[in-house]
């Protein structure tokens, strides 16, 4: 029996979807604790013998198992329309037959229509693609939470209160929208749209914090599913190139209301190399044919088709991630992508222009951008490893690579992924014993 947190150890896109799916099998309860519909799982499941694709951005993939409960905790920001779309898509495919399979925290903040519009307008004004993907309103919603202007799921279920809350917030938002040259939103339309959503969401709303607490007390297996990655944490990442929430393990405590001592383990997911979307410093990024090899072989293109920057694994950044998250285990994904290279490199630290050495990143992006990686060069391997299921059968060079990671980070490897399929996995240690 255990409560485990699964965290992206890098800049997101570590392959969390696959690892979370694997661990979900052992969990009774899967909890999202931060972010919003900027995460995502594309699930291909057999239904009546036919493969069916389901895309979920908000609801954990555990919802495909009828015997598990999925929780959207108060640390998540909820777009009611997206939530309803996901519920409808699941029901259409015969999933989520019982309302009890999904619990939405009554005190989760709602993404309001003005959050989405503001997000789009700001994006257009700066010309920069932000972390949270265009127009989803996640950043502006978290801003309002910190600014004590949140409208909560529970407000949605109480018309008088909703009217009062929207009346208090909308004039300022409309002034902002007009400053950006956008038409103001109509008060009655905003209220009507939200009230339309309310009865669809109501059956799932409850006290998620207490539910999770009681589940832990009863010794249930809990999986806290992180989204994005450590270096994108609003406080612990390379600000301002970060997302709006706490993506680190402490985010599970704050975002689901769980005391740190109730958490048994934290698994950090890292690719065997590194990638980064959008702007921001990336010390091990490669502009050469090796970067291209990683991009092609790892299919490192975003859903919008944008190429991700790729480079060698950055153990200095991972050392920091292991420290701030307290990793008890590592899941190394996409090891197969390194196959076919003469040498593989591990960044073990950085050197600044003055020759000073660092074992962890400096978070100031301007400083980090001046750092040169210090590499340890290891022999590569040429074999296709996607059929390997036990560590001992990996090529010696691949084993050496993993053992270097483990030694440098002082964190045991719990799982190695050697291909996108569920079966293409080496399980070293079962975190749910």
Q: Which residues bind ligand GDP (CB under 6 A)?
A: 8, 13-18, 333-334, 336-337, 417-420
Q: How does DSSP assign 381-396, residue by residue?
A: --S--TT--SGGGS-H
CB of 110 to ligand GDP, least distance (A): 24
Marked catalytic residue, from 21, 28, 41, 287? 41
Contact 285, 260 (CB under 8 A): no
CB of 336 to ligand GDP, least distance (A): 5
Q: What is d(CA 100, CA 106) in angstroms, rounded to the nearest whole number?
A: 15
Report the residue number, 57 or 145, with the smaller CB distance to ligand GDP. Answer: 57
13 catalytic per annotation: yes
Q: How many CB atoms lie within 10 A of CB 107?
A: 18
DSSP annotation of 338: G
CB of 276 to ligand GDP, least distance (A): 12
Contact 228, 67 (CB under 8 A): no
Report the residue number, 16 or 68, with the smaller CB distance to ligand GDP. Answer: 16
Report the residue number, 273 or 320, with the smaller CB distance to ligand GDP. Answer: 273
Marked catalytic residue, from 13, 119, 314, 336? 13
Report the residue number, 322 or 415, with the smaller CB distance to ligand GDP. Answer: 415
246 catalytic per annotation: no
Residue with the two structure tokens 């980090």: 368
**How crowded is the C-beta side of 28, counted as CA atoms within 13 Å?**
12
Report the residue number, 15 or 329, with the smaller CB distance to ligand GDP. Answer: 15
Q: What is d(CA 175, CA 210) in angstroms, rounded to the nearest whole number?
A: 39
Signed CA dihedral, 268, 274, 280, 282: sign only: positive
Report the residue number, 9 or 73, with the smaller CB distance to ligand GDP. Answer: 9
Q: Is 318 helix (H, G, I), strand (E, B) or coil?
A: helix
Q: Is 154 helix (H, G, I), strand (E, B) or coil?
A: helix
CB of 44 to ligand GDP, least distance (A): 10
Burial code (b: 16+ CB inside 10 Å, e: under 16) for 399-429 equals eebbebbeebbebebbbbbbbeeeebbbebe
CB of 61 to ligand GDP, least distance (A): 10
Q: Which residues are catalytic?
A: 13, 41
């Amino acid at each position: 029996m255990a409560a485990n947190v699964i965290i992206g150890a890098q800049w997101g896109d570590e392959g969390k979807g696959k690892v979370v799916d694997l661990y979900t099998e052992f969990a009774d309860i899967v909890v999202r604790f931060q972010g919003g519909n900027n995460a995502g799982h594309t699930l291909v499941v057999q239904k009546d013998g036919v493969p069916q694709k389901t895309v979920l951005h908000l609801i954990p993939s555990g919802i495909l198992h009828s015997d598990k409960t999925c929780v959207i905790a108060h640390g998540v920001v909820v777009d009611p329309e997206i939530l309803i779309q996901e519920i409808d898509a699941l029901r259409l495919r015969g999933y989520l037959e019982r309302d009890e399979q999904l619990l939405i925290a009554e005190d989760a903040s709602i993404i309001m229509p003005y959050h989405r519009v503001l997000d789009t307008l700001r994006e257009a004004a700066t010309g920069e693609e932000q972390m949270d993907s265009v127009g989803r309103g996640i950043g502006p919603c978290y801003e309002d939470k910190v600014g004590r202007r949140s409208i909560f799921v529970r407000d949605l279920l109480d018309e008088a209160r909703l009217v009062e809350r929207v009346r208090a917030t909308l004039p300022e938002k409309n002034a902002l929208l007009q400053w950006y040259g956008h038409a103001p939103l109509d008060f009655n339309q905003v209220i009507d749209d939200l009230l339309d959503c309310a009865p669809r969401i109501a059956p799932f709303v409850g006290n998620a914090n207490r539910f999770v607490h009681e589940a832990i007390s009863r010794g249930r297996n809990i999986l806290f599913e992180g989204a994005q990655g450590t270096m994108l944490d609003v406080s612990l990442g390379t600000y301002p190139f970060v997302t709006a929430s706490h993506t680190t393990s402490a985010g599970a405590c704050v975002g689901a209301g769980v005391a740190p001592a109730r958490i048994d383990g934290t698994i950090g997911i890292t690719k065997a190399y590194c990638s980064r979307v959008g702007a921001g410093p990336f010390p091990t990024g490669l502009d050469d044919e090796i970067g291209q090899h990683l991009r092609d072989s790892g299919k490192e293109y975003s859903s919008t088709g944008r190429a991700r920057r790729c480079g060698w694994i950055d153990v200095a950044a991972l050392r920091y991630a292991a420290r701030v998250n307290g990793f008890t285990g590592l899941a190394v994904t996409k090891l197969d992508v390194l196959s076919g290279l003469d040498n593989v490199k591990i960044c073990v630290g950085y050197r600044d222009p003055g020759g000073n050495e660092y074992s962890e990143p400096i978070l100031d992006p301007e400083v980090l951008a001046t750092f040169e990686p210090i590499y340890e060069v290891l022999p590569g391997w040429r074999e296709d490893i996607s059929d390997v299921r036990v560590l001992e059968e990996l090529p010696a060079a691949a084993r050496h690579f993993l053992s270097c990671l483990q030694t440098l980070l002082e964190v045991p490897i719990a799982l190695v992924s050697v291909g996108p399929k569920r079966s293409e996995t080496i399980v070293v240690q079962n975190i749910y014993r």
